[in-house]
Amino acid sequence: MQGSVILDQNHGNPEDKKVDIVVDRVHNVDEYYPSSGRVILHVDMNAFYCSVHEAENPELYKGKPTAVAGSVELRKGIIVTCSYPARGRGIKTGMQVQKALKICPDLTVIQPNFHLYRRYSNAFMQIAYSYTPLLEAVSIDECYLDITGSRQFGTPPEIAAAIQRRIMEELGLPCSIGIAPNKLLAKMASDLKKPNGISVLRLRDVPGVLWSKPCDEMFGIGGKTAEKLKRLGIYSIGQLAAADEKLLTEHFGVMGSWLKRAGNGIDHGVVNPEREQSKSIGHTTTLPRDVLGLAEAKPILLNLSDQVARRLRRQDLVASGLHLTIRTPDMKTITRSRQFDVPTESAEDIYKAACDLYVRHWKGDKPIRLLGVTLQGLSAKEDSAIQLDLFDYERQPKKESLNKTMDMLRNKFGENAVLTAGMLSDSHSARLRNYKERGTSLQKDNLQRLKPEEE
């Protein structure tokens, strides 16, 4: 990417939808693209959940301090994300709602609507996809684009500006975009100007832009790794770049070589438009009140099992193992696992296994704050050799037919269209089936490979 590129925005007013882009153009667009190597964009939606609500109801939320959190009246909720006006008032992600309201009494707390977020997620990714088929969705609110072959749409800054402008004009959402020769630097670049910024970060820019920053500001380096680096006398990204690779591998194993490369802005990862198969499918829920005993836990486990089974079947997968998570009011967590006799997609099998783990590993008189069911050892259903006994051979086709019919009815008429008696016990069980409330930013079931809308 040659040529002088100046990217700026009106920082005085974060609500300003305009981004001023001045490009000192060369005569040929091709000169903005490398003769070898790639041009990668990272599109990162700004305060995504809050921005979606503002786009849907600007008269209620535009320019106001807002936050998305769970049900405040049922349990001490945690701020999932907050708007930029809220951040300016001292509100942070992960803060307890009660504390946030003390800091900012006029904070508007919004309950999450994951169905709405998924709809907007697919919409902004369709816009991005129109510039290149090489799109890798990494979460509900961010994606990588390889635009090396997209020069017919203009220079990389022009393409980034066009994507940003369309997302704002068509959806009313702000985003920041990083432009770089690899995914790591594109990700780092998108964080440089928020909200609504566009930044270029080339390899030659790394020393001046990144090396003075602390290690934990490098994407992929968490708090524990940063603390371990400090004990080795490595505090900044520049010191990491200059560190002895042998020293790093001695303390971090194969990750040591990655740390050395990352410090120098080197990343060989490619944009992969094919979604990797899920390694696990799980659903956890913080309960509105503490649960005591198997009788109270059963309806929760049944609905959790039903929802993870639905997600499993939606991806045409089967699971060979189950992982049960239990958390107490004092925030102690225990996890227990078991294998199925044969891989399964059945909510009935999952529920029985979850109850079995609960009974064997939990005393009934101890209160529970959170329950979770996670399926592991996933494989494609068509590739799984499932051994059945004579009785199961008779039952299996009927079970699969019943599951298919129930899924079809619930897809068309909603999660409550077909229920077993055990699912009807309380309002919290109903919340687990609520398509607006279920799901988290970590669930990526909706992020299939995108195709043009007309196909």
User: b/e for 356-376, b at 16 or more Cβ within 10 A?
Assistant: ebbeeebeeeeebbbbbbbbe
Name the DSSP class of 153: G
- Site of tokens 């508007």: 108
Q: Is 418 helix (H, G, I), strand (E, B) or coil?
A: coil
Give the HSE-up count for residue 401: Cα atoms under 13 Å, Cβ half-sphere. 5
Q: What is the DSSP string of 227-266?
A: HHHHHTT--BHHHHHHS-HHHHHHHHTTHHHHHHHHHTT-
> Which tokens is 142 given?
């961010």
- Site of tokens 């990750």: 255
Which of 285, 347, 267 lies closest to 314 in space, CA to CA?
347
How far is Cα 332 from Cα 325, in angstroms, rounded to an integer? 11
Alpha helices in 91-236 (DSSP H): 97-103, 114-129, 156-171, 183-190, 206-209, 223-231
Q: Are 149 and 132 in contact (CB under 8 A)?
A: yes
Q: What is the DSSP string of 373-412?
A: EEEEEEEEGGG------HHHHHHHHHHHHHHHHHHHHHHH
Catalytic, 437? Answer no
Overall size of the chain counted in residues: 455
> Which tokens is 20 given?
């001023």
Parallel, antiparallel, or unpaired for β 66-69 and 108-110?
parallel
Q: What is the DSSP string of 115-140?
A: HHHHHHHHHHHHHHHTT-S-EEEEET
How far is Cα 153 from Cα 22, in angstroms, rounded to an integer? 17
Give the HSE-up count for residue 402: Cα atoms under 13 Å, Cβ half-sphere. 12
Which of 391, 407, 389, 272 lies closest to 342 in space, CA to CA?
389
Name the DSSP class of 346: -
Which of 80, 69, 183, 163 lies closest to 123 in space, CA to CA?
163
Catalytic residue among 31, 56, 136, 142: 142
Catalytic (active-site) positions: 142
